[in-house]
Structure 1
Amino acid sequence: MLHDAIIEGMDKEKAEISAITNNTDAPNFDNTIVALTQSGGMLERATTTMYNLLSAETNDELDELANEMAQKLSDHENDIMLNERLFTRVKKVYDNERDQLDGEDRKLLDKTYEAFERSGATLNDTQKATFRNITRELSEYTLKFSQNLLKETNNFVLHIKDEKDLGGLPDINKETARFEAQSRKMEGWGFTLHAPSYGPFMMYANKRNLREQMYMAYNTRCTHDNAYNNFKIVEHIVNLRREVAQLLGYKNYADYALRRRMAQNAENVYELLDDLINSYLPKAKEEVAQVAQKAKELEGDDFVMQPWDFSYYSQKLKHELYDYDPDMLRPYLELSHVQKGVLALATKLYGITFKENKHIPVYHPDVIAYDVFDKDEAFLATLLVDFFPRKSKKGGAWMTNYRDEHCDLPCNQQVTANNSYRPVVSVTTNFTKPTNDTPALLTLNELETFLHEFGHALHGIFAMTHYAALSGTSVFWDFVELPSQFMENYATEPDFLGTFAFHYKTGEPLPQSYIERIRKSRNFLAAYSCMRQVSFGLLDMAYYTQTSATSEDIKSFEHDAWHRVQLLPQVPSACMSVQFSHIMAGGYAAGYYSYKWAEVLDADAFFMFKEKGIFDQDTANSFRTNILSKGGTKDPMTLYTNFRGQEPTIDALLHRDGIK
């Protein structure tokens, strides 16, 4: 069915494009730009469904369909973007009408024209043929990268038969592991490389050799001599992106990508990363030394801390300094309560409400569907939430749309919830599953993850734009993380936690002493965490600022890229690049820095809420009106300053992290 829908969708879009190019009327904004942005609706729905299910509920048949369609869809996209007659019409509108347009219309025209330029429309015939071949190969390699990583992740399980090997692990993690083993028809306990299993094991398991085994399994994924090795695929992806950028006249892929980012160029990205290194690295080194010292105190002066020890001894130190154990919060963070609390936060800030709708068809029984209504009861969106890991689902957490908000009315008419097509938004996570005896209980990190993805969802839910191409999260990549990271700030706010954090057995509220411990420990390893993110940003930029193919092997390349911020011993067989989906198969190529860029924004924005009150509706409505509803209709810094009244500085972030 999906196969037929994609084929029919491509045929239909071809006919729609032909209607535009065969139009005998002179090209204008409506008959060319608007007609183009409104074309391909059926194909968009079909491919969106395919790609979303590839991440959330895949199977062999869907994998085969994606492999089959990768080249067809790449060719189809190129047929449109390299269509000379179509680009001629677009260019005439750009040359003749741009100065007369404003607002969303001009933004759409600029984005459309630039998309053609960046997709090879100005190339000669020989170059266009090369462009087609490169983009076709890229689509195949990026898909294969993701499929290999998921299969390598699913192929491993640490099977423990002796309960003595579970020493140190909290009961909830042992119970989940037993449940995992039962699902695999095994005796004992099973630990996987999915975050809810891997993370607690590395933090709590007393058996060092088992921690090492888990660490090596996780960090050597896609490095083995088997069908899922990603080394050559990484080389191909990086080189092909460089080639396509240079074909289009850019020095390297970073210059190409950053043209459509707030950062604008690699120099500004490196300036941010260098500022963070200068501010955080000294403190990060102190933090790692403290953890290493704690390990020596417990194990002896000859003990040399390795990466598989860091999480374990960090937790020991954190408990000593703050009497804080992340697991002590779990009983108070029952998922059903957290879910109500997060939705209620949106109600308190923005006046919106959520009503479960069991009549909406969903792709898996775990998925819950909500109708979202504004304070005037106008329908805003459909929200899907999908919380638990499974073999058919990739790791991590993400927000996506099944349909973008848009409106068919002219731009001189205001968009409302009642005159626009409302979005279908999805939040997908991999939280610890409930067991036969215990409901799903979250960690503080998982609460932050939920808030993060929910922030993205609000960006989609509140969209009020005319064109889908400018709607919701269709913004510069280094601006898209602002709404999500902003929401994370609420995770440690006592007034927010007090609305839902009750013990799942006794109903007792989260003790104030626990909240104080959370807040006091908030900046524990903040500098180390920052440097870890910076190291990923440095690796990303090292790959995509290359101007020629490197002969250096990938592991050596990694070391050279981040050695100045490497704080733990190097493990020769480990490799990040072959697992780094964000920059290889996701949208973060030459863009991983955007997490830190957005942290500067979100810390600055939340500082305003702290001044006015974290639930202040006037401030929240300004955030909604000036940022969340606007999508990509204006320059992101303009949107931000309209909300904040000034451009952001790094000061709020340094203050929040305890650096300044």
Structure 2
Amino acid sequence: MQNPLLHPQQLPPFSQIKVDQIEPAIDALIEENRHLVNALTETEQDHDWDSFVQRLEDTSDKLSYAWSIASHLNGVMNSDELRQAYNACLPKLSAYWTEMGQHKGLFSGYEALAKSEHFASLDKAQQKVLQNTLRDFKLSGIALPEAEQQRYAEIQQRLSELTNTFSENVLDATQGWYFHTEDPSDLQGLPDDAIEAAANAAKTRELDGWVITLDFPSYYAVMTYANNSAVREQLYRAYSTRASDQGPDAGRWDNGPIMNEILALRQELAKLLGFTTYADLSLATKMAENGDQVIGFLNDLAEKSRPVAEQDLADLTAFAKELDGTEQLMPWDVSYYADKLKQSRYQVSQQQLRPYFPLPKVLNGLFGIVERLFGIRIEEQADADTWHEDVRFFRLSRDGETLAYCYLDPFARSNKRGGAWMADCRDRRRLADGQIQLPVAYLVCNFTPPVSNKPALLTHDEVTTLFHEFGHGLHHMLTRVDYPEVSGINGVAWDAVELPSQFLENWCWEPEGLALMSGHYETNEPLPNELLENMLAAKHFQAGMMMVRQLEFSLFDFKLHQCFEAGVTDVQQVLDEVRKQVAVMTPPKENRFQHSFGHIFSGGYAAGYYSYKWAEVLSADAFSRFEEDGVFSPTAGEAFRSNILEKGGSAEPMELFVAFRGREPKVDALLRHNGIVKAA
């Protein structure tokens, strides 16, 4: 049987993939790529797009495809065997990618093509590929002396190992602790489905009673609904000290030394490439022009938001004292009393909304909204080969033409990384024979699975998460760019990549959109008008506190990467100083949020977490056109699809935004949508 990891034109036959196939497949593809690169560059010759770039794309796409499958399975079906195979491939891939980034013959070939007469005959997307590639060669150390190139390679390999270990530690720490009780009073206040899930978790461990884990749905239910403050505190302290030197598993999976080494290596890498800080290196591929602009942007939002956040906290503190006589509000009390205050003020809570958001109804509504906005039809393909029985597979089409496919893995389970994300399985690209390889996306969430005979019931927050990730998916799947380096989300400036995801969230707050995605799971009755009105009225509830929390993360990330100096900078001190500036509630000293901050230590957001707020300016202003034209305006929908979703990274984000909106973005809509300033 041929190795199923080697055929990107086919959909992955997951049932046929064996863990012991991964490393040999990666080895074979690396050697195939090396052989082609050497053949194309060993003699000086004039190249055109087809004889050079197309051939390189053909072979590198196979490697990208195989590694996307291995990486995906490592995240959603983690096991000791898979982890071992994945880790065995990391140093080989790091060495290969560094080698290609510093390959002088390859660089010369791209540079010659960019300077040739042939360049003028290329379309705009092809020219962007060449421009980006030459930029990336420089950022890969192509101009460095040999000794420094070698050090660059060593740093990249070590970083790939460290960031993966960071992620593994967070997963192990999350899975490694749980709260077991046989006392039903510990669960008072929890909704029935959370209690049933806790009973099931105990049974899987062959225990009596109930088990609460640190998987987010389980943790969130306790922090929001459990009446027992001591239980909430115990969960909070375990969750906020994961993978650190504090808490119940102190030192067992400690990411502290790993963070320091990651930061030191990033700073060394930046200086090797001629940048003062890693933050400066990060901005070389982003919309923001410099660090001062980023810090100024975040400080301005903080200045406008903190007074609102302070009032939010004062309201919450007064309510807790009035309700229970609570004199001092603690971090593990915030979600609990916020839910109670929200119910008191607006007669609405996430738990009240759950019965009206069964996952099947939400999906139908999501697909209906996408069809009305962009003319896209989404249909489930029942016979797909997947990695788990909960996974579903869908086909996207327009006017009968198949555009893309996507997998949806919706539920939390053991050995699955927490959070929600979209990842690419396969990129859209034009093949050598002229056919089009269609894009395929992975959409992953961690919702509470169905219990008893009920479908999975989502909170409104989870509905918004699903829309967010599907927005990323649309960016990947609806692209009409035929060159993988700039198709879909590829080549998009990181601080613009959240535009489609945050944009799609808006329909979760529009009555016309909510009517499509909601209906009681037993009767299909629509969301009652009173509950709908209360939910919409509560949209900006605690908005100030939520805003400063995100600004805390963004400023911490950026300032840390601006100032870090090995052996001098204390990571905790940087975070503490940022909290003094923007936070309205100081967590306990043992809180080690940063030790599980995967976005910046094992994801792609290092010195780029600010991108969420930066892109939110774009998304809020983009949606304001629909507020003006109508939330299902076909003209506005067509314009967003054709100017943003279809173009991918083939042009600069500001150019695409102006083409859609008719002007550059303004921050006003962001402040209004977040409730920081009142609508006029």
Which bracket does the TM-score occupy, shorter chain normalised? over 0.9
CA distance in 1, matches of 2:587, 2:93: 41
CA distance in 2, matches of 1:58, 1:97: 50
CA distance in 2, matches of 1:216, 1:73: 38
**For 1:390, which of 405, 413, 423 is the aligned residue?**
413
CA distance in 1, matches of 2:291, 2:88: 36
Question: What is aligned with 1:452?
Answer: 468
Per-residue CA deviation, residues 366-422 of structure 1 (Å, 9 max, x unaligned), is: 110112111x10011111100001112100000111101112479xxxxxxx94211
Question: What is aligned with 1:170?
Answer: 191
**For 2:670, which of 650, 653, 660 is the aligned residue?**
653
Q: Do residues 186 (structure 1) and 190 (structure 2) align?
A: no
Question: What is aligned with 2:336?
Answer: 312
SS at match of 2:547: helix
Offset, 1:227: 4.2
Per-residue CA deviation, residues 561-609 of structure 1 (Å, 9 max, x unaligned), is: 3321121133111112111000011000011001111111111111111
Per-residue CA deviation, residues 606-656 of structure 1 (Å, 9 max, x unaligned), is: 111111111111111110000000000011001011011111111111122
Equivalent residues in 2 for 1:419-498, closer than 5 Å = 419-474=435-490, 475-498=492-515
Question: What is aligned with 2:140?
Answer: 119
Offset, 1:550: 4.8
Distance change in 2, residues 1:275/1:550 (3 Å): farther
Q: Is the 8 A contact 1:223 1:229 kept in 2?
A: yes
**For 1:579, which of 578, 592, 596 is the aligned residue?**
596
Gaps of 5+ in 2: 1-20
Question: What is aligned with 2:89?
Answer: 69
CA distance in 2, matches of 1:554, 1:24: 50
Which amino acid counterpart does residue 324 of structure 1 have in structure 2? V
Q: Do residues 233 (structure 1) and 254 (structure 2) align?
A: no
Q: Is the 8 A contact 2:425 2:441 kept in 1?
A: yes
SS at match of 2:285: coil
Per-residue CA deviation, residues 416-469 of structure 1 (Å, 9 max, x unaligned), is: xx9421111111000011112322100000000000001111111111112101
Offset, 1:38: 3.5
CA distance in 1, matches of 2:367, 2:435: 25
CA distance in 2, matches of 1:424, 1:643: 26
Which amino acid counterpart does residue 57 of structure 1 have in structure 2? M
Equivalent residues in 2 for 1:267-278, closer than 5 Å = 267-278=292-303
Gaps of 5+ in 1: 411-417
CA distance in 2, matches of 1:518, 1:482: 25
Question: What is aligned with 2:114?
Answer: 94
Q: Do residues 60 (structure 1) and 77 (structure 2) align?
A: no
Aligned pair count reads 651
Q: Is the 8 A contact 1:17 1:39 kept in 2?
A: no
CA distance in 2, matches of 1:141, 1:339: 37
Offset, 1:351: 2.1
Which amino acid counterpart does residue 323 of structure 1 have in structure 2? Q
Offset, 1:93: 2.9
Structure 1 range deviating more: 554-563 or 72-81: 554-563
CA distance in 2, matches of 1:21, 1:324: 65
Q: CA RMSD in A?
A: 1.7
Per-residue CA deviation, residues 305-353 of structure 1 (Å, 9 max, x unaligned), is: 1111111111121111111111111111111111111111111212222
SS at match of 2:516: coil
Q: Is the 8 A contact 1:485 1:599 kept in 2?
A: yes
**For 2:67, which of 37, 41, 47 is the aligned residue?**
47
Q: Is the 8 A contact 2:310 2:584 kept in 1?
A: yes
Which amino acid counterpart does residue 334 of structure 1 have in structure 2? P
CA distance in 2, matches of 1:392, 1:142: 18
Question: What is aligned with 1:36?
Answer: 56
Q: Is the 8 A contact 1:402 1:425 kept in 2?
A: yes
Offset, 1:175: 1.8
Q: Do residues 21 (structure 1) and 37 (structure 2) align?
A: no
Question: What is aligned with 2:639?
Answer: 622
Distance change in 2, residues 1:69/1:384 (3 Å): same
Superposition TM-score, scaled by structure 2 size: 0.93
Equivalent residues in 2 for 1:530-569, closer than 5 Å = 530-546=547-563, 548-569=565-586
Q: Is the 8 A contact 2:264 2:564 kept in 1?
A: no
Offset, 1:553: 3.3
CA distance in 2, matches of 1:582, 1:78: 23
Question: What is aligned with 2:127?
Answer: 106
Q: Is the 8 A contact 1:12 1:40 kept in 2?
A: no
Offset, 1:98: 8.8
Structure 1 range deviating more: 626-635 or 2-11: 2-11
CA distance in 2, matches of 1:156, 1:575: 16
CA distance in 1, matches of 2:55, 2:137: 15
Offset, 1:134: 0.6
Offset, 1:147: 0.5
Q: Is the 8 A contact 2:193 2:451 kept in 1?
A: no
CA distance in 1, matches of 2:117, 2:214: 55
**For 1:257, which of 282, 293, 313 is the aligned residue?**
282
Which amino acid counterpart does residue 291 of structure 1 have in structure 2? L
CA distance in 1, matches of 2:27, 2:321: 63
CA distance in 1, matches of 2:165, 2:517: 42
Superposition TM-score, scaled by structure 1 size: 0.96
Per-residue CA deviation, residues 120-171 of structure 1 (Å, 9 max, x unaligned), is: 1110011011111111110110010001100100111111211111111122
Equivalent residues in 2 for 1:583-598, closer than 5 Å = 583-598=600-615
Question: What is aligned with 1:414?
Answer: none
Offset, 1:23: 4.4
CA distance in 2, matches of 1:53, 1:223: 26
Distance change in 2, residues 1:550/1:643 (3 Å): farther
Question: What is aligned with 1:284?
Answer: 309
SS at match of 2:494: coil
Per-residue CA deviation, residues 265-293 of structure 1 (Å, 9 max, x unaligned), is: 21111111011012111111111111111
Which amino acid counterpart does residue 644 of structure 1 have in structure 2? R
Question: What is aligned with 2:158?
Answer: 137
Per-residue CA deviation, residues 197-237 of structure 1 (Å, 9 max, x unaligned), is: 11121011111111010001100001144441100000011
Offset, 1:359: 2.5
Offset, 1:99: 6.8
Q: Is the 8 A contact 2:306 2:544 kept in 1?
A: yes
Q: Is the 8 A contact 1:29 1:97 kept in 2?
A: no
Offset, 1:511: 0.3
Which amino acid counterpart does residue 635 of structure 2 have in structure 1? D
SS at match of 2:443: strand
SS at match of 2:442: strand
Runs of 4+ in structure 1 off by over 6 angstroms are none
Which amino acid counterpart does residue 133 of structure 1 have in structure 2? E
Q: Is the 8 A contact 1:405 1:471 kept in 2?
A: yes
CA distance in 1, matches of 2:577, 2:563: 13
Q: Do residues 355 (structure 1) and 379 (structure 2) align?
A: yes
CA distance in 2, matches of 1:31, 1:18: 14
CA distance in 1, matches of 2:397, 2:405: 9
Q: Do residues 403 (structure 1) and 420 (structure 2) align?
A: no
Offset, 1:41: 2.4
CA distance in 2, matches of 1:353, 1:615: 16
Offset, 1:299: 3.1
Q: Is the 8 A contact 1:145 1:584 kept in 2?
A: yes
Q: Do residues 340 (structure 1) and 364 (structure 2) align?
A: yes
SS at match of 1:40: helix
Offset, 1:39: 3.1
Q: Is the 8 A contact 2:439 2:477 kept in 1?
A: yes
Offset, 1:30: 4.2
